[in-house]
Structure 1
Amino acid sequence: MSSSGILRGGTALALVLAAAPALAQSEDSFTLDPLVIEGSKREVATGTAAPVTVIDETEIRDRQAGTIAELIDSVPGVALVNGSTPTGSGISIRGYGATSTYGTDQKVQVIVDEAITGSEEIYRLGTQLFTDPALYRSVEVLRGTVGSFEYGSGIVGGVVKAETKNASDFTGGVPGFRLRETLEYSSNGDGFATSTILAWQPTDRAEFLANYTLRKQDAQVDGSGTTIGNSQFETPSWLLKGRVYLDEAKEHSLTLSYTDTSTAERDVPYDSFDTSGGMFGNVDRDIDSRTATLVYNFAPQTNPLIDFDVILSYADQQIDQSYIPGSSDAPFAPPGGFPTVNADHRYETTRLAFKNTARFGTGMVDHELRTGLEFIRKERESAESAPGGTDRRVALYAIDEMRFGNWTVTPALRYETQEIEDGTGFGGPDTYDNDALMGGISARYAFANGVSLFASAAYTESLPILDDLYGTDRGMSGPVAQRELMSTSEKSHTFELGGAYDAAVVFGTEDELAFKATAYATTLWDVTSYTVPDVTGVHVDEVETHGLELEASYSMESGFYSDLNLAVARGEESYPGGLGDADWRALPGDSARLTLGKRFGDTLDMSWEVVAFDDIEVDDDETPGFSVHNLRATYTPQEGVLAGTEMRFGLENAFDRDYQPRRSTRRAPGRNFKVSLAKTF
C-alpha cells in the first residue's frame, strides 16, 4: 500500500472511532496524570482541553530510543530535523521550533526537572538538548499555547517537560536497596548502551538514586546501504537525585536532582546538519550539558489552600570547538578556519520560582488556583556566531481551573518583564527593557454520556532574545535596526476547538476506548525570527498555521490493543512591501501512526507500528511520501531463573525503506534491529 493509501486508511479508522458511542472523563489539567486506558500502549488525555501527550516509563523502555527527539516524534504534531543523533537534530511542534539553520526559534520550551534548557540559536549546530532517554521516568508534550503560561512566554509550538527517575520507582516506596542494569544493542551503526541505576531508600522518609548511562553509535547506513555521514556519537550521562521528608507527617520535603551529559566529537563537520565538512570544514567539538534543581515543598494535609514549592534551578551548556585544517570540502577556508567555526559557547540559565496550588470552593464553583512568581537570569558569552549578554526576567502568573456542573473553565494570565544587557559592544544601547501581558482561556463541557467538547483561545508574546543583538530589521542595519529589533516582541494568538470520547464496554463486555481530536489555528505577527528567503535583512510579515491532531486508543480484555494518531497541518507566510507570500516553510507533511498489539498476560507484549507521511509540496519543493514499519516485542518471564528479566526486541524500518522526511537534512536510517536486557535486583 502507498503511504497516501495508509494515511487515508488511518483517517478512515479515526472516523470510525469518532462515530462510536459512549465515554467518560478523567484528567482535569496538564499537571495531573491523564486517564489510563488499561492495555493500551499510549494514554489519551481526554479529560482536559489542553492538547497534551504523556510518554511514560514503560513506553520509554519499549521504544528503545537513542535520543529524546526520537522518543517524542511519535506525538502528533511533533516533527524532527534529523533526530537519530544528539547533535545536528531538532524538535518542531506544530511547525515551530527547530529550523534547518538553528536548533530552535525559541517557540518550544524544554524543561528538565523544572530547569529551563534545550537550545540556543547557534548557527548550524542544531538543538543542544544533550541528554539521554534512560534518565527519565516520563516525558510530557504540550502542544500550542493555552496550557503554557506557567512554563514561559512566547510558547507557540509547545512544551517538552521531562521528569527524571526516582529511587522509589524501583524500591516501590519500601526501605531497601535496588540495583537495575540495562544493556542495549542496535545493529545499524553497531550502537551500544549500558545504564546502571542504584536506588536506596534508607527509611520511608528518604530516597536516593544514582544513574550512569553510556550510549555510543558508529556511522549508520540509510535504506539504500549508503553511509550517513556525521551520524556517529558517544554520550556518557549522569543522574543523581534524592528526596528527603523533613517531618514525620511528610508535609515538608526537599528534592535535589543533577544531570550531566557530555560528548567529545573529533574531526566532525562543523555544520552538524550536514553529512560532510562542507564550506566550513571539520572541527573537534566538546559539549557538556548540566542541569541542577533544588525543590522545597510544603503541603499540609489539613490545609488545601497550600501546596507550596520553592524551586531553584540551574542549566549550564558549554560548547568548545576548534578547526581541523586541511579539509578538502573547505578549499576557501582561511588557514585557521572561519571565526564562526572556532567559536566557543557557554550559556547559563538560573531560575528561582515560588509556586502554590490552592484548592477551594466558592458557592457552586470548585477552584484549583495555581499561582507563581519567577526570577530568570540567562547569561551567555559572546561568540562569532552568537551574541552574548544577560537576559533578566521577572514573571507572575495565575491559572484558575474552575469546575461547576459539567463545565470546566480555565482562565490564565502571565505578566513578564525583561532587561537585556548587551555584552557584544555592537554600538547600540547598553540595556533594553520590555514587558508583556499575555493570557488565555479554555472551556470544556462534559455530557452525561461521557462525550466532551472544548474550545480555547490564547495570546502570547515572545520578548526579544539575546540572539537579536546581532540582528537587522526590515532592510536597516546598525544601532537603529538593533534598537528596533530589541524593542519588538513577536505576538501570536491561537484558537482551538475539539472533542473527546472515552468509554468502557463499547463493542464488547470488557473493552475500553479513548478518542480526542483538536483543530487549531495560529497567527504570528511582528515577526523577528524569520527573514524573507533570498532577501537580506527583511523579516516575514506574518505566519498563519492551522491543522488537526487526533489521538485514539482501544483495548480489549483479550489483550488486543491499538493506538492511532494523526496530524494534518497547513500554513502560509506573508511578506511586506509587495513581496507576496508562500507556503509556511516549516510544514512537515500530513502523517499518521497506527499501532496494533497483543498482550499475553504479564509475560509477552507484541506490537506492529506503521508510520506514514503523505506527499508534500512546499513552494515547488516536493517531498515524496513514505511508510515505515516497526515491530516490537517485550518478554518478561514470570517464573524460573529468568523471572523479572525484561527482554526487548525491536525491528525499525523493517522493510529497509530509503527515505528522507521533509524537515530533515539527512537520509533516514535503514533497517535497525534492537535488543535490550534489563533486570532489577
Structure 2
Amino acid sequence: MLAEESPSAAAQTPPVSTTLPEVSVKANREKETGINPTQSITTISSQELQRLQPSNIFDAVRSVPGVSISGGPRPSGMTFSIRGYSDSEDVMVKVDGVPKGFEKYRMGGTFIEPELLKSIEVQRGPQISSGSGSLGGTIIATTKNAADLLQPGQRYGAKVKFGYGNNNDEYSRSYMVYGRPDDRLDILYNYSNRQSKDMELGNGTILESSAVASVSKLLKFSVFPTDSLEFVTSLVSFDDKGLQPYDATGGQPGTFGNVVRAIDDQTWSETIYFRPDTRFIDLKVAFGGGHTKLQDTMAPGMSSLNGPERNCDGLIWRPNPSLTRNCHGNLNDYYTYKTRSMDITNTSHFVNGPWFKFSTLFGYQYNENKRDIERFYDNQTYVMQTALYPNGFNASAPPGSKSFHAFYVQPRFEFGQFSMMPGYRVDEYLVEADGGTLGLLAPYKQANKILFTRDSLSLGLAYEVLPRNNPEKLTLYSNYGQGFRPPLIDEYFTQGPFSRCLRTSVNIPGITMVNGQASGICGDLYKPQTSASAEIGVSYLNPNLWNTGTFLSGKLNLFHIDTENLLLSLRENADGSITQDGYEKRNGVEFETFLQYKAFYLRSAYSRTSGKLFDGSSFVPLYTVPGNALNLNFGTQLSEQVEVNLTYRKVWDRNVIIGGGGISSPLVFGTQDGYQIWNANLRWQPSKHLAFRVVGENLRNEEYRLDSAMGGLGIFAQGRNIKFFVELTY
C-alpha cells in the first residue's frame, strides 16, 4: 500500500503528492476534508475533535468509514475494529510514533485522553510502514504542542476546561499551559482528570463497575537548533483505578467476575526531523518506549478464580489462628509490559522534472514488547499457592517477549498524471518464552524461541483524469498490500485449558489433540496469519462546485481481503494430521464525502462488509464484522460566537454467536439488532477568553447493543447523556 506521512510531519515540510505536482492543492485538500485522495486514510483534525468532544479516543473515530468499536462501553474494555478486524493485535495503535497495546485476556490497551490529542489518523488496511500487527489498519494519534494553540503574536497561553455529564455524574477538568519563550523552543503541559459514577444504560438500568477515575498528563517540548533540524520530546501518562469486570471487553461480569483494577501507563518518545537544503535527505527518526503496569485484585468470592472463604477473618483462620496456611485472602495478578521501539525513514528525491519524477522512501523499524506476569495470593504461604501458581507463575498467561526488525523500501514514479508506487518489506520476528514456561518445555526438548522471517509486497497506482493545473480533481486509483499477524505469546506458549494443543486421550477437533506437542504447548505448530488486500476507488475534489462557492470532496473505495491461516483454525483432524487452513474472504464498500457552503458543512460516511469464513472444518457466518453503518454530521456557524452541529448514525443488523461453543455443543448463530443514534453539539463563545459547550449523546435514549469483541451479543450501550463544558483561555 502507499505510505503517507503523518499530519504533523506534513505540516513541517511540503508533502510529496502521490499524483499531483501542485503540493499546495493536496495540502489544502487533506487539511479541509481529512480525506486522502488515493489511499484508505482519514484524518480527524483538532477542529473535528473540538466539535465532537469525545469522552475517549474510541468515540473520536466512530464516524470513520470501515471503523467500529468492539467491547465497551468502559474505555478499558474497548478495542478498535477496522474492516472487521477487532482483536487488539490486529490494529496497530501509535501515540507520537510509539506503538501501544499489550496482550491481556479480553482487555483493551489504548489509554490516552482525547483532550491531549491534536489529530488522529486512521489507516485502513496494511501499509508498508506499519507492517505486522496491522491486518485491519493503524491508528496514529498525535499530541498537541504550543504552536497549535498560541494566537498570532502570543508567546504564552493557558487553558482551563471543566465538564460535567449527567448520565453517570461525571466531572472532568483539564489544565493546560503552553508557550514559545523563544522561536527555537516550544513547551506544553496538560493535566486532565475524569471522575464518574456507574453509567446508566438506555433501558434505565445501571451498569455496575463502570465508574471512571482516571488522570492523564502530557509534557511535550520541541527544540529547533537550526531551520533544518527539530527535536520533539513527548511524555504521556495515564492512571486509572476502580472496580471492573475481569473480562473488560465483554458484558456484565461473567465467569471470572469483577476485579479492582489499577492501571499505570506511560509513554515517552523522541522524534528528530532533519531536512537540510538537499533533495536527497528528508529524515525522520522516532524512538521511544513505555510501560503499562496493571494490577487486578480479586477478593474472596468476587471471581471464580478466587472462591469464597469460610471460617476466615482476612488471613486468620477462626477455628485455629495458629494455622497460618488455611486462608488465602485476595488473589492478585501483576502485569508489567515494557515497550521499546525505533522507526527511521528517509525520502530521497532523485528526479524532479516537469513530466517525470522519481523518489524513494527507505525505512527501518525495531520493536520489542516484553511482559512479566505473576499471580499471588495475599497469603503467599497458603497451602495451594505453590500447587496452583508456583513462584507466581500462571501457565495460562505465560510471560515472554516479542520483537522484530524490519526494512522496507518504496520507490515512487510519476509520469505526468500517472503515478506508481511499488513496495517491499521484510520482517524478522523473534518470540521468546520466559519464566515458568521454560520448565514446562525443557523436559520435552521443545524450543522456547520462535524465529521467522516474512516478506510483504505492496503496489499503488493512481491516475489524474483531469489536467494537473485544473482545480477540479478526479483521481482513479488502485492499491494492493500484504500483511500478517504473528501468534501471540499466549497462543505460542500457553499450557492448560486455554491452549489449542491440550493433550487428551480423545481428539476433539479444534479443542484438544492426541498427537500434538507432548508438553501441551502449541509452540511452532502455529503459523502466522496472513492477508492480502486489494482495493480500487475514485476520488473527486471541486473547490467551486457549479460556480456556487461550494467545496466538495468525496471518495468511493471498494476492497477485497483474503485472510489465510486463521489462528482459530489450528486443529488435529480425524486422521491425526494437524492443520491451520481456515480462511476468510471479505468484500467491502467505503464511501465518504465532505461538503461545505459558506458557514454550512456536511460530512458523510457509509461502509459495508460481507464475506465468508471457513473455520477449518465448515463454513460459518462472518460473525467478526460489524453491521453496515451510515454516519451523517451536519453543522453551521450561526455567528462568530455560536456553532451547532448534529450527528446521525445508523447501524444495520449483524451476524453474532448466540449460543454453543462447548466441547459437544456447536456454535449457534443469530443476529444482533441494528440501531439509530442522534447526537447534538452547541458551542457559544461570548468572548475570546470564555466558551460554553453543550453536547447531547444518544438523545433518543436508544437501547442498543455494542459489538462484542468475541463475536457474541454485545453489552448494552450508555443511555442519554448531556455534557456541559466551560473553557477559559488566556
The TM-score with structure 1 as length reference comes to 0.86
Q: Which amino acid aligns with 1:131?
A: I
CA 1:230/1:244 → structure 2, altered by over 3 Å: closer, same or farther? Answer: same
Residue-by-residue CA offset, 1:224-282 (whole Å, 9 max, x unaligned): 211122321111001011111123xx22221110000011114x332223554433233
Aligned to 1:214: 193
Report if the CA contact (8 A) 1:260-1:291 is conserved. yes
Larger relative contact order (Cα-Cα within 8 Å, sequence gap ≥ 6): 1
Q: Which amino acid aligns with 1:442?
A: G
User: What is the deviation of 1:70?
Assistant: 1.2
Aligned pairs (5 A) from 1:255-294: 255-266=232-243, 268-274=244-250, 276-294=252-270
Aligned to 1:503: 542
Matched, 1:545 2:586: yes
Provide runs of 4+ in structure 1 moved above 6 Å. 336-341
* 1:280 aligned counterpart, secondary structure: coil
Q: Distance in 1 between matches of 2:216 and 2:518?
A: 43
User: What is the deviation of 1:669?
Assistant: 1.0
Matched, 1:570 2:614: no
Q: Which amino acid aligns with 1:378?
A: N
Report if the CA contact (8 A) 2:705-2:717 is conserved. yes
Q: Distance in 2 between matches of 1:430 and 1:673?
A: 53
User: What is the deviation of 1:362?
Assistant: 6.5
Q: Distance in 2 between matches of 1:632 and 1:285?
A: 33
User: What is the deviation of 1:205?
Assistant: 0.5
User: What is the deviation of 1:339?
Assistant: 13
Q: Distance in 1 between matches of 2:450 and 2:728?
A: 54
User: What is the deviation of 1:634?
Assistant: 2.0
User: What is the deviation of 1:27?
Assistant: 6.2
* 2:50 aligned counterpart, secondary structure: helix
User: What is the deviation of 1:388?
Assistant: 1.6
Aligned pairs (5 A) from 1:636-647: 636-637=685-686, 642-647=687-692
Matched, 1:326 2:308: no
Aligned to 1:14: none
CA 1:110/1:594 → structure 2, altered by over 3 Å: closer, same or farther? Answer: same
Report if the CA contact (8 A) 1:222-1:658 is conserved. yes
Matched, 1:71 2:60: yes
Aligned pairs (5 A) from 1:407-422: 407-422=418-433
Larger Rg: 2
Report if the CA contact (8 A) 2:108-2:248 is conserved. no
Matched, 1:371 2:362: yes
Residue-by-residue CA offset, 1:20-58 (whole Å, 9 max, x unaligned): xxxxx996499x9996779x99824253x2111111111
Report if the CA contact (8 A) 2:256-2:305 is conserved. no
Aligned pairs (5 A) from 1:71-150: 71-98=60-87, 104=88, 106-120=89-103, 122-124=104-106, 126-145=107-126, 148-150=127-129
Aligned to 1:8: none
Matched, 1:252 2:229: yes
Report if the CA contact (8 A) 1:229-1:275 is conserved. no
Q: Distance in 2 between matches of 1:196 and 1:188?
A: 24
Q: Distance in 2 between matches of 1:130 and 1:342?
A: 22
User: What is the deviation of 1:494?
Assistant: 0.6
Q: Distance in 1 between matches of 2:421 and 2:58?
A: 31
* 1:131 aligned counterpart, secondary structure: coil
* 1:654 aligned counterpart, secondary structure: coil
Residue range with higher mean Cα deviation, 613-622 or 543-552: 613-622
Aligned pairs (5 A) from 1:281-360: 281-300=257-276, 302-327=277-302, 330=304, 333=307, 335=309, 342-360=332-350
Q: Distance in 1 between matches of 2:24 and 2:204?
A: 43
Q: Distance in 2 between matches of 1:33 and 1:315?
A: 37
Q: Paired residue for 1:396, among 390, 407, 415?
A: 407
CA 1:422/1:372 → structure 2, altered by over 3 Å: closer, same or farther? Answer: same
The alignment-based identity, stated in percent, is 23
Report if the CA contact (8 A) 2:447-2:523 is conserved. no
Q: Distance in 2 between matches of 1:85 and 1:405?
A: 51
Aligned pairs (5 A) from 1:575-590: 575-576=615-616, 579-590=617-628
Q: Distance in 1 between matches of 2:299 and 2:579?
A: 35
CA 1:351/1:91 → structure 2, altered by over 3 Å: closer, same or farther? Answer: same
* 2:201 aligned counterpart, secondary structure: coil
CA 1:318/1:568 → structure 2, altered by over 3 Å: closer, same or farther? Answer: same
Give the unaligned 5+ runs of structure 2.
1-14, 310-314, 316-326, 375-393, 467-471, 502-509, 657-667
Q: Distance in 1 between matches of 2:136 and 2:654?
A: 21
Q: Distance in 2 between matches of 1:648 and 1:82?
A: 29
CA 1:296/1:678 → structure 2, altered by over 3 Å: closer, same or farther? Answer: same
Q: Distance in 2 between matches of 1:331 and 1:288?
A: 23
* 1:62 aligned counterpart, secondary structure: helix
Aligned pairs (5 A) from 1:154-193: 154-172=133-151, 176-193=155-172
Q: Paired residue for 1:652, among 685, 694, 697?
A: 697
Q: Distance in 2 between matches of 1:264 and 1:279?
A: 22
Q: How many residues align?
A: 629
CA 1:323/1:398 → structure 2, altered by over 3 Å: closer, same or farther? Answer: same
Q: Distance in 1 between matches of 2:253 and 2:36?
A: 47
Q: Distance in 2 between matches of 1:83 and 1:594?
A: 23
User: What is the deviation of 1:430?
Assistant: 2.7
The TM-score with structure 2 as length reference comes to 0.80
User: What is the deviation of 1:646?
Assistant: 2.7
Aligned to 1:514: 553
Aligned to 1:6: none
Q: Which amino acid aligns with 1:630?
A: N
Q: Distance in 1 between matches of 2:640 and 2:154?
A: 26
* 1:585 aligned counterpart, secondary structure: coil
CA 1:331/1:243 → structure 2, altered by over 3 Å: closer, same or farther? Answer: closer
Q: Distance in 1 between matches of 2:24 and 2:579?
A: 45
Q: Distance in 2 between matches of 1:258 and 1:612?
A: 38
Report if the CA contact (8 A) 2:252-2:715 is conserved. no
Q: Which amino acid aligns with 2:685?
A: T
* 1:303 aligned counterpart, secondary structure: coil
Q: Which amino acid aligns with 1:374?
A: Q
Matched, 1:671 2:720: yes
Aligned to 1:603: 641
Q: Distance in 2 between matches of 1:669 and 1:58?
A: 25
Report if the CA contact (8 A) 1:630-1:652 is conserved. yes
Q: Distance in 2 between matches of 1:481 and 1:405?
A: 60
